[in-house]
Structure 1
Amino acid sequence: MFYKTRKPNDRWRRLYVLKDGEPLNEPLCIHYQSCYLFGRERKIADIPTDHPSCSKQHAVIQYREVEKEKQPETNNQVRPYIMDLGSTNYTYINETPIEPQRYYELFEKDTIRFGNRSQEYVLLSE
């Protein structure tokens, strides 16, 4: 399999911000660019994570186009992946800490949490 960074070709992707299971704000549209940086450093973060347990550059969601070696005639898919950028207090997918510097594919209804924040982000369709 080969991967290329790409802007997603479907517009259904939204991150819903929840605290204690209740929505906080309008959902975040995350289909306008190929990657989104999460972190405390507001000058460079696409999505700020204002919490002391979050790193300045905490994690990134990157869209990647997946080409299938054995079926090149099929349509390629653009899928979201997340990578922890070596944060001190981890990034969690569905309450499981992920290893830094490694991509993890995200699926609909996955829950993402950064550091010790009580806020969660849920990947859902429109």
Structure 2
Amino acid sequence: MAHKKDLLDTIYLHQRSVWLAGRDQKVTDLLLEHPSISKQHAVIQFRYITSTNEYGDKSSKVKPYLIDLESANGTKVNGKPVEASRFVEMVDGDVVTFGESEREYVIMLPPP
């Protein structure tokens, strides 16, 4: 029988435009305490993106992006490793893991 993982905490990411995640409690905004996680492991950044559809209508929204800071043990989104130093757009329901930690972070975005 599979046991449901405990929901530990809710972090309201939209309260800041940038979050530094890692083990270094002096500088990180999101402290991740696991030996496989780098001191400065990854950044979640909100970017204001403007796009134009095929009719020339512009729409703008704020979207979260994740970048792995060339950490020793990597970052995964939905179980897939993300390329270091490349911004990856995150969508509602994405599951993020850092290093070898089994703790999962689920991205929950407000409705558009």
Relative to the length of structure 2, the TM-score reads 0.86
Following superposition of structure 1 onto structure 2, how do residues 13-28 of structure 1 map, counting pairs within 5 Å?
Answer: 21-28=4-11
Superposed CA RMSD in Å reads 1.9
SS at structure 1 position matched to 2:21 = strand
- Per-residue CA deviations over 1:14-68 (Å, capped at 9, x if unaligned) read xxxxxx7423423111111111110000011111111110000000100111112
**When you count strand as a share of all residues, which structure comes out higher?**
1
Higher RCO (C-alpha under 8 Å, 6+ residues apart): 1
Structure 1: runs of 5+ lacking an equivalent:
1-19
Amino acid at match of 1:91: T
Partner Cα separation in structure 1 for residue 59 and residue 46 of structure 2: 16
Structure-2 residue corresponding to 1:93: 77
Structure-1 residue corresponding to 2:47: 64
Please say which of residues 70-79 and 113-122 is displaced more in the overlay. 70-79
Please say which of residues 49-58 and 20-29 is displaced more in the overlay. 20-29
Partner Cα separation in structure 2 for residue 76 and residue 125 of structure 1: 16
- Alpha carbons of structure 1 residues 21 and 109: separation in structure 2 relative to 1, 3 Å: farther
What is the number of residues matched between the two proteins? 107
Structure-2 residue corresponding to 1:120: 104
**Equivalent of 1:103 in 79, 87, 92:** 87
SS at structure 1 position matched to 2:84 = coil
Structure-1 residue corresponding to 2:20: 37
Relative to the length of structure 1, the TM-score reads 0.77
Following superposition of structure 1 onto structure 2, how do residues 78-89 of structure 1 map, counting pairs within 5 Å?
Answer: 78-89=62-73
- Per-residue CA deviations over 1:66-114 (Å, capped at 9, x if unaligned) read 1125677533111001000000100000010111000000011100000
Please say which of residues 25-34 and 71-80 is displaced more in the overlay. 71-80
Q: Percent identity?
A: 36
Q: Which structure 1 residue ranges, 4+ long, deviate > 4 Å from structure 2?
A: 69-73
Partner Cα separation in structure 1 for residue 109 and residue 52 of structure 2: 28
| Larger radius of gyration between Structure 1 and Structure 2 | 2
